[in-house]
Structure 1
Amino acid sequence: MSTEGNYIQSRLEKFENEKISLELQHKYYEYLSHYLESKDMNATIISPTVMGITDPVLLRLVNELSDIQKQIAEVGYSLNTQQGVYTLLTGQLDKIRQELKENVSNSLGSLNMSMTEIDKRIAEVEVELSNLPSTERQLINIERNFDLNNTVYTYLLEKRSESEIARASNVSDNRIIDRAARHSTTQIRPRKNKNIMLAWFFGLALPALCLVILDNLNDKILDKKDIERRTRVPLIGYIGHNDSDNQLPVVEKPGSSLSESFRSVRTAIKYYVDENKTAVITVTSTITSEGKSFVSANLSAITAALGKKVLLVGLDLRKPKLGKIFKSNLSGMSTFLSNNSEYEEIIQKTEVENLYFVPAGAIPPNPSELIEGERMKEFIERAKKEFDYIIFDTPPVGVVTDTLLIAPYVDVNLFIVRQRYSSRNTLDLIEYFRSSGQMKNMAIVLNDIKLRGYYGYGMRYGGYAVGYSYGYNYYGKGYYGKYGYNYKGGSGYYID
């Protein structure tokens, strides 16, 4: 990790630890406010030091409140001869409660300002983090999550021990031998209803806090709500997990639920295109391994099943994968765009009826320049005359800009995000393309849905930034090198 990465990581961990501490203090002040509103003189109050609060004024008021409550409890066990003392003590109790309410109100206001400021600092550091290389960001995020989990766990253990010690120190040395006689037979101790309320409060508040912390630590996309909170680009479909090694399940098992999910996406796309014209569609993602090549291949096959003439084009010239599915990648877009092949030479008929395929071809040294050239425009105009649908499998827009170069010719831009793999931050990039108008008719598909949970996840990266060789007659050695963290999901695999 670079020096800058270490510095950013240390600042981010520092701010997040401060935020957790502020959240715990905020929870305590909310508890104290609820306690004061209850006006129960018999309930035990938790010391603020247990939550790391060292405000001397608050500590003094809480101690005074606890002392007066003990005095009132002792007087309450006696007969009515000390009624005047009892009234005096309750008056002092009300005064301290009022001072505590003012202190809590001021402290909550100060805490809210501090939490807003710390959120702002975290956002600034995350902007700096986004400028680092992708691999370094991934490493920082993993170490950050580990350190935060470890810090929270250690912090909670310490607070639990402090709470037990504080609770033990609050046990009175006095023991009542015989209670004073009362005119009423109503039970006054213990207060069962109050105890039940306290049990519910602490039984729900702490787990809820832990859930909030865990949710903040997890930045992966899980469901529709995660997408809707970060972007206005519509979610038009869900693709299930592929349990088969076959990368064309819509052809192998056309009646499966996975095939039905592709039909649903196909239907949704119809609302974006004019059926009287050739529809040009890009299938892309923001990072690698989100399943764009898998989706583009199966979407093309399921569309061809309607009797439409479909052309699937491998335009990922940096890391081509469609050639592995259709067993062909000798000549294709790279050779056509570089004037080494003609249009008729690169169009290939597949075993799927009505589906034609153009592989990416050999990896060129200048893919962006080739895509931006006049040959790309010539290819699209000619293909529109022969096909009903043209589907481009393009590189991730979060890694390279190749997809943006053909945006003026495209009718629908389909973004693939992968459940429990894609970061929620990637949705910010998708929303940026929408708001800036760089892409039109954008839609999102949530891929690799696992209904019965998962065993873990990891990442693979390679090929987009470094390590590919040049030439048109061979694949570059080292381009497909993989490094990072192994994926430990369910059976089956996805190509991207």
Structure 2
Amino acid sequence: MIGKMTGQSGNKCIPDEFDLRKNMGAIIDKRYIIIVITFIFVFVGLLYAFLSSPVYHADALVQVDHSGEIDMMSNISQLLPAKSPVSATEMQLVTSRAILGETVAKLNLDTEVRFISFPIIGEAIRRYSQPGVPRIAVDIFEPRRGVIGGSYTLEILSDAEYQITSPSGTTVSGMAGKILETPEFRIEVNEIHALKGDKFSVTKVETLKVIEELRANVNVIDQGKDTGILTISYNGRDRKQIKNILQTIIDCYARQSIHRKAEEAEKSLEFIKSQLPQVKNNLGIAETKLNAFRSRNNSVDLPMEAKSTLDSMVQLDGQINQLILKETEISKLYTTQHPAYLALIEKIQVLKDEKKNLNEKVSTLPLTQQEVVRLTRDVQSGQLVYMQLLNKQQELKISQASTIGSVRIIDSAVTGLKPVKPDKVLVIFIFACLGLISSVGFILAQVSLQQGIDSAEILEDIGLNVVSNVPLSEWRNDHYSHSMSDTRPVSLLALEKASDIAIEALRNLRTSLYFSMMEARSNVLMISGATPEVGKTFISSNLAVVVSQADKRVLYIDCDMRKGYAHRIFDVKNVGLTDAITGSITCQEAVQSTKIPGLDIITRGKWSKNPSELLLRKQYHDLIHWASDNYDFVILDAPPVLAVSDAVIIGRYAGISMLVAKFEQSTVREIESAIRVFNRNNIDINGVILNAVVNKPSGFYNYGKKEIYEYHSPET
């Protein structure tokens, strides 16, 4: 039943929360867009996977072992705190500027040589068309002016000849294996593995920049906790070059370890050599004093207890001397407040305290015996220290001669046959996921931003009465989508395809109107819209046809005096409403017959600057009353109410007024605003016609199963 609406939504509103069923339906609606976008991403992923340069991986295994080191601190390890894992230190040494800088110098890595190919795809085409990447070996490249970053172009002339062009434009030729010198640069190309006509760019790069690039590609991993086993790896595009780079890095690393050990031994040896003359001199003085004392006092016998005390004092002096030597070494590694240094000082103090106690025992002896003990102690202690220094000197000489370092190369550098990057399957999978996520995200964003009405339930939820859902005519859409004209379709679907589902929906509306007209104050029906382009003329014109087909006399009046085009639809002259209101013709003369029995039409007539003023004239009032008296149904096609005020005037003479909303184009706010405009002018809107409804899975998932059926006689 067609009732009244006020346009007030009350407390009801459209939910803003995430609607899973609706979004799932939208995804199914746009599944072909998702497939296309995902396919595009997969295609891009394929291009990236097969066109990007492959990255190879080289690795080597080394062992770091400090257990065999000989130094002056070897006997006080129990005094030192536990050492931090050597791996952490060695991992930093591998990527130090000293190691990488030496590698850059040995391999001439600050000379950058690049094969010049067509951007993006050129290198890939060359890589797949012939085995091996074109390359040349440049052992020497020295720009005379020290220019860093200037690009020189080297072109291959034959297997052994090339020509090089400087940034200034000077071109000279050279032979492989021979140094080429010019006033601008000096270069030596030793190997040529390229075809005639191939070109390379040769550039001198800043050394620090090359070191940073090497550091970014070198990876050092500790194989287990405190094992001292390190895996050193390097990634790059040239299989042969990355192997050479990695092998040079570990060779330099092992060599610097040997140099470091030799340098430590050399410094310790120099220290001992500097101490030997002084110790020998002190020993000579002590022996002279002892001999002189004995010659003056003949032979002095010491008791057994004094001899024991003397031996203990000599041993203590030897131990104290050893610890003092070690203090000299440990002071180079730690501060005076370090626990290791404090432990050594404490040990020395303990020995000195013991020596002090022995000196107190000696002081109880007779003076002659005290002097004998003192002089004998000086001689024996000097001899012991002297022998210790000689032994340490010999030990360090042997260590220096047999230095092997703490780094041992277990596995030399080797490069894998297959590239590690890009992983083609993974790349394609990632791009496919990105395409799927992007396309779904795009569709969900569209759904969240879309404000158009996509179901009758949305209008009903806010208290509006939807009197008819008119499906989109696929036949009409296909028939006119191929037209190149910008004008609107000017045919009547009710005549061209009477069995169309859209026309069947209008027949249902006709039935509802038949009973509603019995209770209405007049038989005049106004059909308007909130905004333009919602299909009000399509609805009103085809509704006029289906009502006339029910054996009713219908008058269709095109009240849109600005953009009405009903005269083109019905193929009649454009002489009508404007002319009748202005008095140019009578009401009867304004009416034109159509080729449809029972259906007459009044077109909009001549264009007018002030349609609203014309509609307020008495002639329009008289025309509507005359039409109502002489026809069963009078259908007024009114302009959109939010665009112009004509519909408000037209609606005053209608017994039933309806609004047309277009599926997914009209918004709830527009419909509510239009109804409020009519209500403020005491015009009741009896229902909303939802036009161009599309049967989508989103509607199925959101509101349950809603299908539109065609039901007509089979063709004979």
Q: TM-score, normalised by structure 2?
A: 0.33
Q: Which has a greater percent of strand?
A: 2
Kindly indicate whether structure 1 or structure 2 has the higher relative contact order, using CA contacts under 8 Å at least 6 residues apart. 2
Q: TM-score, normalised by structure 1?
A: 0.47
